[in-house]
């Protein structure tokens, strides 16, 4: 989003006009930004056979998936439904990594039936898999490295108390099951969380993985997850992708030369690819002054963007209707019957009732975590591509809210 000649624009389209055409609340995605982020990763890891697996949970709109597929991305799914959506978007089974967590074994069987790259993350499922498939279906293993990393405890997934992955201290049990059932391990995977800024964290993960990898002679890939941090506000420290690509890539090359064959380096970014591309456009319903604070109540809330309340996430908010107005302090809240603060004590250009506000960095875990709480409709979604705004998901209707309800006879 750029301010040009006093107008906030994406690909030279005024966002206020996009909001007027499609209504609010509205998710808007800049396709050009998504493709640029994907290319940044490819360039950063260009010295290795990097495969970028988009973490579909961040944004599952099929048009976004098709855009990423078109420009060379694979996909990482965490549910069988995500995998089926990916297949519908044109991804081949070979391009999909399926890493479910705490699912019924029937979902693992469904992944095998679809021919996906499967990644298992607990010992009981590994044993069930071995009993059923033996050496007939190669799989990957997700490991828990016992590394605390990421923005906060809620988004760190590699510490000792995390539900994700098989503990590296349980390697003997893994090896026992592999030997007992002749399981072929073709990949190792670690993902320690989100918003990791330090290259050294990834190098520490690599050291752990490389040490373990020597026990598995049939590896095809090593997956380092992601967690690459993007900027949410001016001055934010972000992941230096090029420093990471250089140092991790160099360490990876040294390892596979000693391992005896070239391996594929996999990463699975979600937020890095789509977060900065997305904007949630909302209308200011009311401006409510109290003795202590001035609230701006908008036609959205935690039902559409839950990250501020769930993770204390910061999202910059901009008044795109009044970019030259004098600045005042506001707390932006939603219209949900909960405390649903989207941004507290924000310095914004004067907000008037009816103004359109843009909530930035809304491309990841925005719509994909949205709900119909308070029986509110989920927003429409629009993709801006080649300077044109295109509707890629309709706004919910009352029919959508009632579609699966069954009215019973109470007589």
**Which residues are catalytic, by number?**
337
Taking CA atoms, 290 is separated from 287, 296, 335, 346, 350, in Å, by 10, 11, 17, 16, 16
Tell me, rounded to whole angstroms, the distance of Cα 253 from its chain centroid. Answer: 28
The burial of 204, by beta-carbon neighbours within 10 Å (0-12 exposed, 13-18 middle, 19 or more buried), is given as middle
Taking CA atoms, 106 is separated from 100, 111, 142, 146, in Å, by 11, 9, 19, 29
Structure tokens at 390: 């295109």
Q: Cα(2)–Cα(10) distance, rounded to whole angstroms?
A: 7
**Residue 184, number of CB atoms within 10 A of its CB:** 18
Question: Mind giving me the DSSP string for 342-393?
Answer: EEEEEEEE---TT-EEEE-S-SSSSGGG---GGGPPPPEEEEEETTEEEEEE
Beta bridge partners of 318: 358
Task: Name the CA radius of gyration of the chain, rounded.
Answer: 23
Determine what percent of the chain falls in helix, strand and coil, rounding each to the nearest 5: 35, 25, 40
Q: Cα(132)–Cα(118) distance, rounded to whole angstroms?
A: 14
Q: What crossing angle do the helices spanning 199-213 and 241-259 adopt, rounded to 10°?
A: 10
Backbone angles phi, psi at 181, to 5 degrees: -110, 10
**Residue 46, number of CB atoms within 10 A of its CB:** 12
Largest CA distance in the chain: 75
* Cβ atoms 23, 380 nearer than 8 A: yes
């Amino acid at each position: 989003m750029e301010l040009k000649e006093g107008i906030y624009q994406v690909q030279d389209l005024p966002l206020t006009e996009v909001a007027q055409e499609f209504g609010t609340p509205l998710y808007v995605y800049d396709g050009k930004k998504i493709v640029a982020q994907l290319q940044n990763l490819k360039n950063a890891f260009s010295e290795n056979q990097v495969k970028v697996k988009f973490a579909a949970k961040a944004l599952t709109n099929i048009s976004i998936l098709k855009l990423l597929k078109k420009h060379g991305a694979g996909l990482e799914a965490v549910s069988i439904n995500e995998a089926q959506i990916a297949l519908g978007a044109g991804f081949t089974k070979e391009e999909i990594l399926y890493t479910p967590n705490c699912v019924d074994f029937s979902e693992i069987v469904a992944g095998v039936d679809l021919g996906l790259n499967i990644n298992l993350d607990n010992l009981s499922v590994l044993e069930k898999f071995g009993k059923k498939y033996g050496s007939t279906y190669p799989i990957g293993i997700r490991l828990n490295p016992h590394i605390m990393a990421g923005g906060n405890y809620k988004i760190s997934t590699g510490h000792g108390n995390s539900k994700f992955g098989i503990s590296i201290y349980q390697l003997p049990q893994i090896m026992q099951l592999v030997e007992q059932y002749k399981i072929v391990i073709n990949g190792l995977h670690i993902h320690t969380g989100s918003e990791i800024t330090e290259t050294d964290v990834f190098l520490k993960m690599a050291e752990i993985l490389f040490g373990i990898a020597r026990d598995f002679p049939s590896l095809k890939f090593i997956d380092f997850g992601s967690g690459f941090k993007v900027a949410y506000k001016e001055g934010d420290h972000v992941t230096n992708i090029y420093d990471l690509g250089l140092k991790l890539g160099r360490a990876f090359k040294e390892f596979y030369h000693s391992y005896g064959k070239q391996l594929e380096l996999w990463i699975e970014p979600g937020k890095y690819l789509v977060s900065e591309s997305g904007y949630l456009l909302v209308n200011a319903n009311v401006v409510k002054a109290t003795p202590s604070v001035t609230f701006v109540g908008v036609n959205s809330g935690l039902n559409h963007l839950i990250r501020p309340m769930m993770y204390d996430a910061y999202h910059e908010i901009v008044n795109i209707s009044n970019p030259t107005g004098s600045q005042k302090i506001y707390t932006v809240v939603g219209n949900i019957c909960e405390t649903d603060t989207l941004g507290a004590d924000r310095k914004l250009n004067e907000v008037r009732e009816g103004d359109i506000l843009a909530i930035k960095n809304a491309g990841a875990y925005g719509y994909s975590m949205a709900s119909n709480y308070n029986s509110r409709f989920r927003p429409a979604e629009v993709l801006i591509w080649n300077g044109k705004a295109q509707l890629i998901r309709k706004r919910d209707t009352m029919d959508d809210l009632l579609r699966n309800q069954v009215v019973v006879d109470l007589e």
